[in-house]
């Protein structure tokens, strides 16, 4: 994970990217982020954002696409983001 905290802002609140799992493919950088809201109506809440960056590091406002062939690499990237990984378990655990 990048040690410099990224920030984000939505009309219901803003905050920091607390953890991030990111891989690089030939076309883009699929990314999963743990967002922690610090200001606004959502202050104190956490959310998961599925997004992507282009190869120059610019945020892309389009749906995340990740190849099945790249899922293993993303799983390894999640090992560096334990809080995010634990929240994602809630998607698949009974």
Look at the pTM and tell me if it is higher than 0.75: yes
Q: How many CB atoms lie within 10 A of CB 81?
A: 20
Mean pLDDT of 49-55: 97
Closest CA to 84 of 30, 29, 47: 47
pLDDT band at 4 (very low <50, low <70, confident <90, very high): confident
Query: How is the beta sheet containing 46-53 ordered, strand by strand?
Result: 7-10, 13-22, 29-39, 46-53, 59-60
Q: What is the pLDDT of residue 94?
A: 77
Mean pLDDT of 44-59: 97
| Positive or negative torsion for Cα 62, 64, 67, 70 | positive
In the chain, what are the domain boundaries? 7-92
């Amino acid at each position: 994970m990048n040690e410099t905290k990224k920030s984000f802002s939505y009309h219901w609140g803003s905050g920091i990217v607390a953890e991030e799992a990111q891989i690089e493919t030939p076309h883009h950088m699929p990314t999963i982020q743990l967002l922690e809201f610090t200001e606004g109506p959502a202050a104190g809440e956490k959310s998961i954002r599925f997004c992507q960056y282009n190869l120059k590091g610019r945020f892309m406002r389009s749906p995340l696409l990740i190849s099945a062939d790249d899922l293993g690499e993303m799983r390894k990237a999640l090992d560096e983001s334990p809080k995010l990984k634990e929240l994602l378990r809630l998607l698949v655990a009974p």
